[in-house]
Amino acid sequence: MVRVSEGNGAGAGNGSHPDEEGLRDDNMRGSAPAHGRDVVARSSAEVVGTSLIERTGVEEALEPEQELMTINLGPHHPATHGVLRLLVSLQGETVIDLKPIMGYVHTGIEKSCEDQSYWKAIPFVERMDYLSYFFNMQAFCGCVETLLELEIPPRAKYLRVIHMELNRLHSHLVWLGTSALDLGAMSMFFYCFRDRDRILDMFEMSTGQRMHTRYFQVGGVFEDIPVGFEKKLRAFTAEFPSRVDQFEALLTNNEIFLQRTKGIGIVPRERLKALGVTGPLLRAAGEPWDLRKVDPYLAYADFDFDIPIGTVGDGWDRFRCRIQEMRESVRIIDQALAGLPEGPVIADDRKIVLPPRHELGTSMEALIHHFKLVTEGFRVPPGEAYYPIESPRGELGCFVLADGSAKPARVHFRDPSFVNLQCLRDMCLGGYIADMIQNLAMLDPVLGGIDR
Amino acid sequence: MPDATGLELIRAELNDAHPDAVIDTYHRHGQACLIVDAEQIREILGWLRDTPGQEYTFLASVHGVDYLPAEPRFGVHYELLNMARVERVRVRAELSDPGEDALPEMPTVSDEWPTADHQEREVYDFFGIVFRDHPDLRRILMPEDYVGWPQRRDFPIGGEPVIFTNTERDVPGWYA
């Protein structure tokens, strides 16, 4: 049980709450309240272990000025970027201990996928991390393609890269807007969402949906980009770097922003690696680790781009890394558009890929394949594979266990937000509670991905 | 990825250092996997991390798998990564189902690989695999008072009743 010790009211004046009697905790694990102070259970969350949260107000005779206060930040708080609850132990304004509590938007997607045929599981996995749906699709489709040992055509690879890099821009724009909003820069939110909307317009043009597009298929992509898409995308990539300049002009010389981010939330690089942190957080600490570069999947080996890295790994470096990543993404999109190969957009394997629509009227074979694929789905030979890609937040890995049927026996996503969240405690300990908001913003968690 | 020969070398050396540690290996789809004894998982991961020439220091992912109806039933996968050589190897710890209400057990690695902390909790939450000496082994994504191990293969999909206002009195344990 979480206990809040009521001392001389250091911080929040919650001493005389009328419901206090109702909240009193009977299950005190045998220890009396220290110095007869009132001990109140604020939450039903069970916290075990030897952290300070556990000990608050129970065992130690703390000096009044050392009084600890345990509060919940969230689950409904705009600065937690979703339904995340942070159990924070405060000494004055200093964060002494912190535990993230999650699971509020757990929807059992991994379990639901076990009841869907492979092609029907794609819309499920998209909805995990709702800001990087193309990446979720690529992780899943790539994993199934690994199991099938299916090679996808070059044009499909390029189209996937274009959409994933646009998705990275989209994700980083949402991050930039909401993070700046957390730090008090209101107008950034509107500028970022204006450009994000242009990206969504392009998704709508090429895939028919603004979000959760189900554009990637096992074997390639659903259909070719429409006429006019290329022109629109070129206009966007020509303009977007100047937009990034505008964002930077608003923030990089902003004294408030600098003071809130510089030197805050530093975690040593080795500690980050031990915690399994990947993505911009690790790169900001100076580790040039990007799966697009070190282990190029799809067509990333064809493109010339750089990996921005930071030096010390504070909030400022994390901000700079992501800003620079947006510029690199634009470079990749430009090169992919220029070098877009001609040819089919989906593999020509009738046992896995739906036949073209026009063949159904004339070919009995095509009709049979279409019927079997839609009703039952394709079968995947038994085996298991882990397929990691670089999502906007780090290593997004998909594990699929196939048992030979048309449905996956197990789908697991190693979501970068879920793993990265573990370093929040290291970032925040000993800092102010206002810095915790900044740290969480620069961590960029997406709760849909954490809870799945 | 170590190639098939490299994988067999790892197996031989690991079995020399820790007898009966590696039960089996496979190399498929360009991915290498060591199937190991769950009780020795700490020694195995430590050996793969500290031995010169191996240095799989980065633990990318920990996840559970239910292989029902195969025996041993459960697998806990550790996806290891050597960042310098960009090589991955999967370590699969095998666990039998002790039957009845007893839960399968294995040692935790979360003290030496802090990234395993939340991920072992997730495996416990969904498969009911107990990690001995884990500092804080609680459910992480499911509600704390939840009964059952939802991602086991014998847990029914849709086993959770959908509660509407007209049916809530019929759902056991919901309407007091």
pLDDT score recorded for residue B5: 85
Is the pLDDT at B12 greater than 50? The verdict is yes
| pLDDT tens-digit series, residues A171-230 | 999 999 999 988 888 899 999 999 999 999 999 999 988 989 889 999 999 889 999 999
Return the pLDDT at A66.
Answer: 62
Neighbours of A241 (CB within 10 A): 14
For residue B51, what are its two tokens?
A: 């031995």
Residues A292 and A173 grouped into a single domain? yes
Among A68, A83, A101, identify where a domain stops.
Answer: A101
- Asked whether residue A118 carries a pLDDT value surpassing 60, the answer given is yes
B175 confidence band (pLDDT: 50, 70, 90): low
Number of domains in chain B: 1
Q: Is residue A429 part of a domain?
A: no
CATH of the domain at A354: 1.10.645.10
A329/A300 Cα distance (integer angstroms): 11
**Percent of chain A with pLDDT strictly greater than 70:** 85
DSSP string, A280-342: HHHHHTT----HHHHS--TTGGGS-------SS-SHHHHHHHHHHHHHHHHHHHHHHHHT---
The answer, yes or no, to whether residue A29 has pLDDT greater than 60, is: no
* DSSP state letter for A159: H
Better pLDDT: B4 or A304: A304
User: Per mean pLDDT, which range of A59-73, A273-287, B35-49 is the poorest?
Assistant: A59-73
What letter does residue A357 receive in the DSSP assignment?
G
Is B71 within the bounds of a domain? yes
Structure tokens at B54: 């191996």
pLDDT, position A191: 93
Average the pLDDT over each of A40-44, A76-80, A260-264 and give the range with the smallest value: A40-44
Instruction: Please indicate, yes or no, if residue B60 is contained in any of the structural domains.
Output: yes
Instruction: State whether residue A172 is helix, strand or coil.
Output: helix
Higher pLDDT, B161 or A447: A447
The reply to whether A450 falls in a domain is no
> What's the CA gap between B35 and B38, in Å, rounded?
9
Residue A134 in contact with residue A140, Cβ under 8 Å? Answer: no
Q: What are the contacts of B18-24 at 24+ separation with CB within 8 A?
A: B18/B43, B18/B44, B18/B47, B23/B94
Judge whether residue A437 has pLDDT over 60.
Answer: yes
Q: Is the dihedral of CA A330, A335, A337, A343 positive or negative?
A: negative
Q: What pLDDT does residue A382 have?
A: 92
How many structural domains does chain A have?
2
Residue A281 sits in the same domain as residue A372: yes
User: pLDDT tens across B71-117, in order?
Assistant: 889 999 999 999 888 899 999 999 998 887 889 999 999 999 999 99
Question: In sequence order, what are the residues at sequence separation of 6 or more whose Cβ sits closer than 8 angstroms to the Cβ of residue A93?
Answer: A11, A432, A433, A434
A416 has a pLDDT exceeding 90:
yes
Range of the domain at A55: 2-101
Domain that holds residue B64: 4-170
Does the pLDDT of residue A15 top 60, yes or no?
no
Mean pLDDT over residues A355-384, rounded? 91
B73 occurs within a structural domain: yes
Q: Is A419 on the interface with B (CB under 8 A)?
A: yes
Q: Is the pLDDT of residue A57 over 90?
A: no
A49 and B136 within 8 Å at the Cβ level: the answer is yes
Contact residues for A2 (Cβ-Cβ < 8 A; gap 6+): A41, A42, A43, A45, A47, A53, A70, A87
Output the pLDDT for position A357: 87
A373 and A255 in a common domain: yes
Regarding whether A204 and A122 lie in a shared domain, the answer is: yes
Q: Which residues in chain A (281-340) have CB-CB distances under 8 A to chain B?
A: 289, 294-295
Q: Are A196 and A219 members of one domain?
A: yes
Residue that has been written with the tokens 């009328």 in this structure: A18
Instruction: Please report the pLDDT score of residue B159 as a whole number.
Output: 61
Q: Does residue A47 register a pLDDT over 50?
A: no
Interface test with A, best of B50, B118, B149, B162 (most A CBs within 10 A): B118
Structural domain includes residue B31: yes
In DSSP terms, A390 is beta-bridged to: A395
CB contact under 8 A, B119 and A419: yes
Q: Is residue A343 part of a domain?
A: yes
Given a cut of 80, is residue A61 above it in pLDDT?
A: no
Residues A95 and A166 in one domain: no
Interface test with chain B among A98, A99, A275, A420, by most B beta carbons within 10 Å? A275
| Contact call for B138 and A46, based on CB within 8 A | yes
- Is B60 close to A147, i.e. CB distance below 8 A? no
Same domain, A366 and A389: yes
| Residue A93 in this model has a pLDDT that exceeds 90 | no
> What's the pLDDT at B1?
67
- By three-state DSSP, how is residue A105 classified? coil
Best to test chain A binding among B91, B115, B117, B154 (most A CBs inside 10 Å)? B115
| DSSP state for residue A11 in the 8-state scheme | S
Per the DSSP assignment, residues forming a β-bridge with A397 are A388, A414
Claim to verify: residue A252 and residue A378 sit in the same structural domain: yes
pLDDT the model gives residue A72? 87
* Of the partner residues A103, A106, A397, the one whose CB lies closest to the CB of residue B61: A397
Q: Which among A49, A419, A451 is the nearest to B115, CB-wise?
A: A419
What is the pLDDT, as a whole number, of residue A62? 46
Find, in chain A, the residue whose alpha carbon is nearest to that of B120: A419
B69: contact with A, CB 8 A cutoff:
no
Which tokens sit at A195? 């450009």
How crowded is residue A19: how many other Cβ atoms within 10 Å of its Cβ?
8
In a domain, A431, yes or no: no
A133 and A48 in a common domain? no
Residue whose pair of structure tokens reads 């001995």 in the numeric block: B132
Residue A222 lies in a domain: yes
pTM of this prediction?
0.85
| Mean pLDDT across chain A | 84
Interface size A-B, in CB pairs within 8 Å, comes to 102
Tokens matching residue A121 = 């599981």
Measure Cα distances from A449 to A47, A106, A126, A156, A253 in Å. Answer: 24, 9, 10, 26, 33
Q: Does residue A126 sit in the same domain as residue A52? A: no
What is the SS3 assignment for A37?
coil
**Residue closest to B128 by CA, chosen among B81, B176, B73:** B73
For residues A133 and A167, give the distance between their C-alpha atoms in angstroms, rounded to a whole number: 8
- The CATH number given to whatever domain includes residue B36 is 3.30.460.80
Residue A385 in contact with partner chain B when CB distance is under 8 A:
yes
Domain boundary among A101, A134, A169: A101
In this structure, are A203 and A333 located in the same domain?
A: yes
Per-residue model confidence as pLDDT tens digits over B142-159: 888 888 888 988 888 876
Q: Token pair 């957009």 is at which residue?
A: A345
Is the per-residue pLDDT at A153 higher than 80?
A: yes
User: Does B175 map to a domain?
Assistant: no
Q: How does residue A411 score in pLDDT terms, banded at 50, 70 and 90?
A: very high
For chain B, give the DSSP string: ---HHHHHHHHHHHHHHSTT-EEEEEEETTEEEEEEEGGGHHHHHHHHHHSTTT---EEEEEEEEE-TTSSS-EEEEEEEEETTTTEEEEEEEEE----TT---EEE--TTTSTTHHHHHHHHHHHH--EEET-TT---SSS-TT--S-TTSTTSPTT-SPPP-TTTGGGSTTT--
Out of A101, A131, A156, a domain closes at A101
The Cα B41–Cα B78 span in angstroms is: 10
In a domain, B150, yes or no: yes
Do A122 and A261 lie in one domain? The reply is yes
pLDDT of amino acid B174: 65
